[in-house]
């Protein structure tokens, strides 16, 4: 190898192929004397076929596969643990290239496969009821690392993924650019080809990013974790978004709806004696009445060592009825995978903790 070629190969050595734009990939291939169509071929292997090595790219000349392997890494996540739930859900613990682990879940139901993916390892927002929040933030994930979780589940089930919710570990809007890039790959016909409306981002309510999201051209779905429409209660439950008041949240959601015409979801985990009282219910009705919204009531998943208890199922039904009486659509969602701690808010880096 000439000295210049060696230097550039070393420079590229740790660049992950997933991090290259089409333009960068085309440029690299051109510098290797390859025709333009090779970039599309490589991208198809990387993004649609989820290849784990350059060697799998059988429609590329062998010499080119070797050359690419010497210049680029493929950063494939490695499954280090898995659990299967009685309801068919599977939870995976994936180890990323630097050793950090994240969890994702596959949830099958009649010809559908839904994936819950993480956007960060841990989370800095510190919600009082959330297992991820208790552990703090390790780091944000790259777009490829978010995308790869979905592909991992797809390949394990051997089925097309029909929807994705970014409700695993982390706050997507504290990792906005990578989240958006991952959503675009998931949406793209050159990627996973999942319809934008079936791609949902859940945020604890980072207001500036909600507006940014409203202005994106794709019709992605938005869920906002509300959990209380009483400022004092919400501050105590969700200290990370204290600075964004409920009044501001209400206003920005109004702008979101008028800008997009899409119905946002409010997530509301019912916590006995905390946010399920009559005055909390009244405040929730006031917050939602007359707006375009869907309220998703979730029975709180109990978190080890937490003082919070779920409300009774009867109380959840009271909430549904009262909300309906003021014209607000609400449903009670059963958590999938509760027996394997895969339900929302219970993803925690267990294996990592054990090995510390």
Which positions lie near ligand SAH, rule CB under 6 A? 123, 129-130, 167, 171, 202-204, 225, 267, 269, 298, 300-301, 303, 344-345
State which residue, 43 or 103, has the beta carbon closest to ligand SAH.
Answer: 103
* Contacted entry of ligand SAH, ligand SF4, none for residue 269, CB cut-off 5 to 8 Å set by kind: ligand SAH
Q: Which of 93, 130, 207, 343 binds ligand SF4 (CB under 6 A)?
A: 130
Six token digits for residue 136: 């703090």
3-state secondary structure the chain: CCHHHHHHHHHHCCEEHHHCCHHHHHHHHHHCCCCCHHHHHHHHHHHHCCCCCHHHCCCCCHHHHHHHHHHEECCCCEEEEEEECCCCCEEEEEECCCCCEEEEEEEEECCEEEEECCCEEECCCCCCCCHHHHHCEEEECCHHHHHHHHHHHHHHHCCCCCEEEECCCCCHHHCHHHHHHHHHHHHCCCCCCCCHHHEEEEECCCHHHHHHHHCCCCCCEEEEECCCCCHHHHHHHCHHHCCCCHHHHHHHHHHHHHHHCCCCEEEEEEECCCCCCHHHHHHHHHHHCCCCCEEEEEECCCCCCCCCCECCHHHHHHHHHHHHHCCCEEEEECCCCHHHCCCCCCCCCHHHHHHC
Q: Which of 64, 96, 125, 270 binds ligand SF4 (CB under 6 A)?
A: 125
Tell whether 27 is in a known binding site. no
State which residue, 67 or 267, has the beta carbon closest to ligand SF4.
Answer: 267
Place of tokens 């945020």: 203
Place of tokens 């919600």: 127
State which residue, 69 or 135, has the beta carbon closest to ligand SF4.
Answer: 135
133 forms part of the interface with ligand SF4 (CB under 6 A):
yes
**Binding string, residues 142-161; x marks residues near ligand SF4 by CB under 6 A:** --------------------
What is the separation, in whole angstroms, between the first and last Cα of the chain?
A: 43
Q: Which of 114, 132, 335, 346 binds ligand SF4 (CB under 6 A)?
A: 132
123 forms part of the interface with ligand SF4 (CB under 6 A):
yes
Tell whether 301 is in a known binding site. yes
Near ligand SF4 in 170-199, by CB under 6 A = 170-171
Those residues with Cβ within 8 angstroms of residue 312's Cβ, 6 or more apart along the chain or in another chain: 272
237 forms part of the interface with ligand SF4 (CB under 6 A):
no
State which residue, 170 or 191, has the beta carbon closest to ligand SF4.
Answer: 170
The 10 Å Cβ neighbour count of residue 67 is 18
State which residue, 106 or 170, has the beta carbon closest to ligand SF4.
Answer: 170
206 forms part of the interface with ligand SF4 (CB under 6 A):
no
Tell whether 246 is in a known binding site. no
Total binding residues for ligand SF4 by CB under 6 A? 12
Burial of 232 (0-12, 13-18, 19+ CB in 10 A): exposed
Minimal CA–CA distance to 282: which of 237, 241, 328, 244? 328
* Contacted entry of ligand SF4, ligand SAH, none for residue 300, CB cut-off 5 to 8 Å set by kind: ligand SAH
**Which residue numbers are catalytic?**
103, 344
State which residue, 55 or 177, has the beta carbon closest to ligand SAH.
Answer: 177
Q: Which of 72, 76, 127, 194 binds ligand SF4 (CB under 6 A)?
A: 127
Segment contacting ligand SF4 by CB under 6 A, of 35-43, 125-133, 156-164, 282-290: 125-133
335 forms part of the interface with ligand SF4 (CB under 6 A):
no
Tell whether 170 is in a known binding site. yes
Near ligand SF4 in 209-228, by CB under 6 A = 225
Known binding residues for [4Fe-4S] cluster: 123, 127, 130
Known binding residues: 123, 127, 130, 170-171, 202, 225-227, 301
Instruction: Tell me which residues touch ligand SF4 (CB under 6 A).
Output: 123, 125-127, 130, 132-133, 170-171, 204, 225, 345
């Amino acid at each position: 190898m000439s000295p210049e070629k060696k230097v550039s190969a070393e420079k590229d050595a740790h660049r992950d192929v997933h991090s290259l734009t089409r333009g960068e990939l085309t440029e690299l291939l051109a510098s290797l004397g390859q025709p333009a169509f090779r970039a599309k071929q490589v991208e198809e292997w990387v993004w649609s076929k989820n290849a784990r090595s350059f060697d799998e790219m059988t429609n590329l000349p062998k010499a080119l596969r070797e050359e690419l392997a010497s210049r680029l890494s493929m950063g494939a996540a490695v499954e280090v643990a898995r659990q299967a739930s009685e309801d068919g859900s599977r939870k995976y613990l994936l180890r990323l290239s630097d050793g950090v682990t994240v969890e994702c879940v596959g949830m099958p139901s009649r010809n559908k496969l839904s994936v819950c993916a993480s956007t960060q390892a841990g989370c800095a927002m510190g919600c009082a009821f959330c297992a991820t929040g208790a552990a703090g933030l390790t780091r944000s994930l790259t777009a490829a690392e978010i995308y790869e979780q979905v592909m991992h589940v797809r390949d394990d089930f051997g089925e097309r993924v029909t929807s994705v919710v970014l409700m695993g570990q982390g706050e997507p809007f504290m990792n906005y650019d990578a989240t958006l890039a991952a959503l675009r790959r998931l949406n793209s016909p050159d990627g996973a080809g999942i319809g934008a409306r079936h791609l949902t981002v859940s945020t604890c309510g980072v207001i500036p990013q909600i507006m940014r999201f409203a202005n994106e051209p794709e019709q992605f779905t938005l869920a906002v974790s509300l959990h209380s429409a009483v400022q004092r209660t919400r501050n105590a439950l969700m200290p990370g978004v204290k600075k964004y008041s409920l009044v501001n949240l209400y206003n920005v959601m109004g702008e979101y709806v008028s800008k997009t015409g899409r119905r946002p979801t409010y997530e509301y985990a019912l916590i006995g004696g905390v946010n399920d009282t009559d005055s909390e219910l009244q405040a929730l009705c006031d917050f939602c009445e007359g707006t375009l919204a869907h309220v998703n009531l979730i029975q709180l998943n109990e978190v080890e060592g937490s003082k919070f208890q779920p409300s009774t199922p009867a109380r959840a039904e009271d909430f549904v009825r009262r909300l309906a009486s003021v014209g607000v659509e609400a449903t009670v969602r059963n958590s999938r995978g509760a027996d394997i701690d895969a339900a929302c808010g219970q993803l925690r880096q267990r294996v990592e903790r054990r090995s510390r």
